[in-house]
Amino acid sequence: MKATVFHEHGGPEVLSYEDIPTPEVNARDVLVEVKAVALNHLDLFVRSGIPGLHLEMPHILGSDIAGIVSRIGDKVPEDIRVGDRVIVDPGLSCGTCEFCKMGEESLCPSYGILGEHHRGGYAENLSVDYANIIKIPNESRLDFAHAAAIPLTLMTAWRMLMSKAKIRKGEDVLIIGIGGGVAVAALQIAKAVGARVLVTSSSDQKLEKARDLGADITLNHDATPDYHKAIRKETGGRGVDVVVDSVGAATWDRSLKSLRKGGRLVTCGATSGPKAETNVNLVFWNQLEILGSTMASRSELREALKLVWDGRVKPIIDRTYPLSEAREAHELLERGGQFGKIVLQP
């Protein structure tokens, strides 16, 4: 089969479109003919090399996969059939530890992600455990490119907002750096819950698109570097209930200063760098909560998907590329010019 792989870590130029053997299908496995695979920032980190992550080369990226079931192993339950339109839960867990037994798969000590710890979907075929298969409902009109744009960012945003920050109707939710997949999913989930949503970006174009998706207040953080002061003004001096900040070092301090007394900051990443200074006085005196979140459990993903199937959350695609042009797609993601997901199609 054709796949885009890399043999060594490096820049976008290490991505190579070549022929490799089609993966084996073991008893619990489902072979998915990949029709679309969406990019995540994770792909860039894995391609460049993450300290401590040792991969078997060549490696195949790709966590967000949509396609058609083309073969099934002997032990796959009957409700999964050849020809089914499916998406793939990118989370891989042991299934036997204390956290897996509680249904908290993303806390599993051996938790892994397709495309990061295991070969992913930048390929014509993917073999995966049947527990990761989620059927696209027959009544859903989503095409494969939009379906592939969903799982990782939706599940990540869902756990952050619903399970960790526990946002409620009428609350003010500030999302730092609108444009990336998680931020866009967070905006749509927060609006579906009935929150008032404030977003920041350095791009007026992205802010305009965010308004189209329902953002109530938009702030250009280049034009307004002290945006936490503007946020205070917008909230009558009170501050917001929740901040979603996955930018990290560059915005952390201002995010903490944007919160109301007892407010919650939730993070799932640090795209500008992981080492941020925290004013501890601010945290205890204002009784702030800092919440970390990664991926989500199977049941959270299924819960979140209901919003997609009933149309309240719409997968947003920036553009699609053929799988053979993964390098160009990575270059675009690295520049950060996208709004929504970039999708590859084999």
Residues that bind Zn ion (CB under 5 A): 93-94, 97, 100, 108
User: Which tokens hold the place of 327?
Assistant: 């390098």
User: Which tokens hold the place of 5?
Assistant: 């792989």
* 147, 341 Cβ separation under 8 angstroms: no
Q: Which is nearer to Zn ion, 96 or 281 (CB)?
A: 96
* 316, 213 Cβ separation under 8 angstroms: yes
Residue 112 CB, nearest distance to Zn ion (Å)? Answer: 10
Residue 208 phi, psi (nearest 5): -65, -40
Residue 97 CB, nearest distance to Zn ion (Å)? Answer: 3
Q: Which is nearer to Zn ion, 91 or 179 (CB)?
A: 91
> Which helix H or strand E contains 227, and what residues bound it?
helix 227-234
Residue 98 CB, nearest distance to Zn ion (Å)? Answer: 8
Q: Which is nearer to Zn ion, 96 or 138 (CB)?
A: 96
Residue 108 CB, nearest distance to Zn ion (Å)? Answer: 3
Residues 6 or more apart whose Cβ sits within 8 Å of residue 201: 177, 178, 179, 207, 210, 218, 220, 221
Task: List for the chain the helix, strand, coil content (%; round to 5).
Answer: 30, 25, 40
Q: For the CA atoms of 290, 296, 300, 304, what is the dihedral angle to 10 degrees?
A: 90
Q: Which is nearer to Zn ion, 167 or 296 (CB)?
A: 296
- Report the b/e string of 273-301 with b at 16+ CB within 10 A: eeebeeeeeeeeebebebbebbbbbbebb
Q: Which is nearer to Zn ion, 188 or 297 (CB)?
A: 297
- Rounded Cα distance, 88 and 119, in Å: 13
Residue 190 CB, nearest distance to Zn ion (Å)? Answer: 30
- Rounded Cα distance, 199 and 177, in Å: 7
Q: Which is nearer to Zn ion, 17 or 130 (CB)?
A: 130
* 189, 162 Cβ separation under 8 angstroms: yes
Among residues 170, 164, 139, 189, the alpha carbon closest in space to that of 315 is found at 189
Q: Which is nearer to Zn ion, 100 or 199 (CB)?
A: 100
Residue 107 CB, nearest distance to Zn ion (Å)? Answer: 8
Q: Which residue is nearest to Zn ion (CB)?
A: 108
Residue 299 CB, nearest distance to Zn ion (Å)? Answer: 15
Q: Which is nearer to Zn ion, 178 or 301 (CB)?
A: 301
Residue 93 CB, nearest distance to Zn ion (Å)? Answer: 5
